[in-house]
Amino acid sequence: MALSSDEGSRFADLLKGHEEAVGAAWTEQIAATLRGRLSHAELQRQTTELQKGFQSALAGGAQDIGDDAAAELRAQLSDLSSARARQGFTANETAISVFALKDAVLKVLDNGDPNVLRDYVAFSAFIDRAGLFTFDSYVRAREELIADQAEQLLELSTPVVKLWDGVVAVPLVGTLDSARAQVVMERLLQTLVDTGSPYAIIDITGVPAVDTQVAQHILKTVVAARLMGADCIISGIRPQIAQTIVALGIEFGDIATKSSLADALRHVIRLTGTKRQER
Amino acid sequence: MERVPVLKIGDILLVSIQDDMEDQVALQLQEDLADRIVATGSHGVIIDISALDIVDSFVGRTLATIAGVSKVLDAETVVVGMRPAVAITLVELGLSLPGIRTALNVELGMEMLARQRAAEEDLGIDEGEDDEPAVTVP
């Protein structure tokens, strides 16, 4: 139900006329739900700003939260919800911050007049829309937060370390899915180029399970490294994993596999050593 | 038509491909290299593809052919400097460039050729040791 322009302007007048009273009642309501996790002064500032936002949107003839006149109000609401999302408030608490305006307005209304009550129903529909919009923004902010964290986790979990002259290692920890395998592959190959290391050790001690897909990813990485002229050794294969690999019939072909990182490093050093002697 | 320059460094020929190759250029390079190997008597060829964004199946096959031709002419071919993105694409496409030796960069490629050459020469001397007097007596 959209707000008619008459109702809108009456609402704006009401907000303006009872600015202090509405603001105080609103702040009071929110403070009760947030249980002191936000300072009173901070809340007061937020409600005053929002109240001005509502007022100017309604005075500007906004009939729905999606209208052009309500653009500023929308910006304020989404700022509020992303701030709340980042501060760790729940979606409920954030939405109530807006819905509390209804109670605050009801308190200052003249309840006897049926026309006033009809107006109030229209106002509250508008506020409901605003509240839903807040909820939407809150969810969006939280999703962005989660996406950011996932990306950071991806970066954290795939370091490529230099072990020796011309030897780099990737200690893989955690489940290897396609996205991570892709990141690992790219990062490893780039490090090979940057450091000019002809040997790479892929250590899978921290990988809880190896299925055909994980093996496929590892094999692809090894073949890509070979294409670029570097040799890969797979290390850290635990007994159970060795059994699964054999049971699944995965062929590592002529790729060197070692049970521990130390063995792999020794193997590589021996290889580089014989090369030096040959020279 | 543009050509890819072939540089001679010691007994190695160095080819640095700077632009994505058209098929005609690749074929021309294949001919030029064969001529130059014979003319200079080089024993090694290094093809630097670090500037290439794309290696398609044709370029891959041309590289393999070059390697084959130079092998017949007693020169080892090493392809160096393949970019990670190129390697990943080739793997995804299932092209593993059989018959081509690779190294990370020109320096490692030259090392690889030198090592190979040294090993071959060692063998040569080993064979020669049987008739040692012929070598030591002038």
Q: Is A228–B96 a contact, with Cβ atoms under 8 angstroms apart?
A: no
Cα distance between residue B64 and residue B58, in whole Å: 10
B80 touches chain A (CB under 8 A): yes
B84 touches chain A (CB under 8 A): yes
The CA-to-CA distance between both ends of chain B, in Å, stands at: 53
Which residues are CB-contacts of B70 (< 8 A; sequence separation ≥ 6)?
Answer: B33, B34, B37, B45, B76, B77
Q: B-chain residues within 8 Å CB-CB of A230?
A: 104
Q: Which residue in chain B has the smallest CA separation from A197?
A: B104
pLDDT the model gives residue A45? 86
Q: A-chain residues within 8 Å CB-CB of B97?
A: 227
Question: Which of B88, B100, B122 has the highest number of chain A CBs within 10 A, making it the mutation to test binding with A?
Answer: B88
Does pLDDT of A79 surpass 80?
A: yes
Helix/strand/coil for A199:
strand
DSSP states of A135-182:
HHHHHHHHHHHHHHHHHHHHHHT---EEEETTEEEEEEES---HHHHH
Q: Which two tokens stand for residue B4?
A: 């890819």
Mean pLDDT of chain B: 84
Cα distance between residue A74 and residue A91, in whole Å: 17
Helix/strand/coil for A111:
coil
| Residue written as token pair 């999703």 | A143
A218 touches chain B (CB under 8 A): no
pLDDT the model gives residue B56? 83
Cβ-nearest to B87 among A196, A227, A275: A227
CATH topology for A161-278?
Answer: Transcription Regulator spoIIAA (3.30.750)
Which residues are CB-contacts of A10 (< 8 A; sequence separation ≥ 6)?
Answer: A119
Interface contacts A/B by beta carbons within 8 Å: 70
Pairing mode of beta strands B12-16, B6-9: antiparallel
Which residues are CB-contacts of B94 (< 8 A; sequence separation ≥ 6)?
Answer: none
B83 touches chain A (CB under 8 A): yes
The C-alpha angle A186, B98, A254, rounded to 5 degrees, equals: 70
pLDDT the model gives residue A94? 84
Q: Shortest Cα distance from A246 to chain B (angstroms)?
A: 24
A5-153: CATH architecture: Orthogonal Bundle (1.10)
pLDDT the model gives residue B136? 43
Which residues are CB-contacts of A259 (< 8 A; sequence separation ≥ 6)?
Answer: A235, A236, A237
Q: Which amino acid is at B34?
A: A
Domain layout of chain B by residue ranges? 6-136
- ipTM of predicted assembly, 2 dp: 0.74
Per-residue pLDDT tens over the stretch A128-184: 888 888 888 889 888 988 898 888 877 776 788 888 888 999 998 888 887 788 888
Cα distance between residue B94 and residue B91, in whole Å: 5
Q: Is A279–B114 a contact, with Cβ atoms under 8 angstroms apart?
A: yes
Q: Shortest Cα distance from A217 to chain B (angstroms)?
A: 10
- Residue pair A166/A197 in contact (Cβ under 8 Å)? The answer is yes
Per-residue pLDDT tens over the stretch A217-260: 888 899 999 999 999 999 998 888 888 888 888 888 888 899 89
Q: Is B104–A230 a contact, with Cβ atoms under 8 angstroms apart?
A: yes
What's the pTM?
A: 0.62
Closest CA to A126 of A59, A78, A19, A54: A54
Start-end ranges of CATH 3.30.750.24 in chain A?
Answer: 161-278
The C-alpha angle A228, A151, A139, rounded to 5 degrees, equals: 150
The C-alpha angle B123, B128, B133, rounded to 5 degrees, equals: 155
Q: B-chain residues within 8 Å CB-CB of A220?
A: 88, 91-92
Does pLDDT of A63 surpass 90?
A: no
Cα distance between residue A229 and residue B81, in whole Å: 8
The C-alpha angle B96, B101, B102, rounded to 5 degrees, equals: 85
- If you ran DSSP here, which 8-state letter would residue B129 be given? G
Q: Shortest Cα distance from A60 to chain B (angstroms)?
A: 55
Quickly state the pLDDT bin for B47 (edges 50, 70, 90).
very high
pLDDT the model gives residue B132? 43
Catalogue the E-assigned strands of B35-75.
Answer: 44-48
**Of residues A91 and B138, more confidently modeled:** A91
Query: How many Cβ atoms from other residues are within 10 Å of residue A116's Cβ?
Result: 13
Q: Which residue in chain A has the smallest CA separation from B120?
A: A278
Q: Percentage of chain A with pLDDT > 70?
A: 95
Q: What is the CATH number of domain B6-136?
A: 3.30.750.24
Find the helix packing angle between A71-87 and A40-59, rounded to 10°.
160
